[in-house]
Amino acid sequence: MAQFIFTNILMISLGTILYLMVRSLPRISEEPGDRRPSIVERWVTSDIPHRIDTAVSFYAGKLFRRMKVLSLKFDNFLTERLKKMSQDGNGGGITGQNKTKVDFIKEIANEREETNVH
């Protein structure tokens, strides 16, 4: 609770200091002279930043649409490959359904018979 009170006191004092600083600002006067605006000021107030923003938005939209199309094409490619794998190959595809079971003992016996015959 004490930390909460101290934090509030700190914030109120900072707010008071800020308020006093803001009140004293109108007393500080700039002398109006023949000051030329800097290059940055002229650039910011011109129409160039708006044009740049419009162009970037336009090309970013195009880029993201093309990336979306490419990702969809890649997705279709992978889907077709998975369909082919499940139709061809090992019967059940990746999941392994409908696989024929291999009897290894019979296979070994057949290999022994083949080697004994030769």
Tens digit of each residue's pLDDT (9 = 90 or more) over 25-82: 776 666 666 678 888 888 888 898 899 999 999 999 999 999 999 999 999 999 999 9
Q: How far is CA 49 from CA 61, 62, 105, in A?
A: 18, 20, 78
- Asked if residue 38 is part of any domain, the answer here is no
What is the band of 91 on the pLDDT scale with cuts at 50, 70, 90?
Answer: low
How far apart CA 56 and CA 62 sit, in angstroms, is: 10
- Asked if residue 36 is part of any domain, the answer here is no
- Asked if residue 48 is part of any domain, the answer here is no
- 35 backbone dihedrals φ, ψ, rounded to 5°: -85, 125
- Asked if residue 71 is part of any domain, the answer here is yes
- Asked if residue 102 is part of any domain, the answer here is no
| Of residues 110, 108, 89, 107, the one with CA closest to residue 99 | 89
User: Which residue range(s) make up the domain with 83?
Assistant: 55-89
- Asked if residue 85 is part of any domain, the answer here is yes
- Asked if residue 74 is part of any domain, the answer here is yes
Is the pLDDT score of 90 beyond 70? no
Structure-block tokens of residue 4: 């909460």
How far apart CA 53 and CA 57 sit, in angstroms, is: 6
- Asked if residue 42 is part of any domain, the answer here is no
| Of residues 107, 87, 105, 106, the one with CA closest to residue 97 | 87
Q: How many domains does the chain contain in total?
A: 1
What is the band of 87 on the pLDDT scale with cuts at 50, 70, 90?
Answer: confident
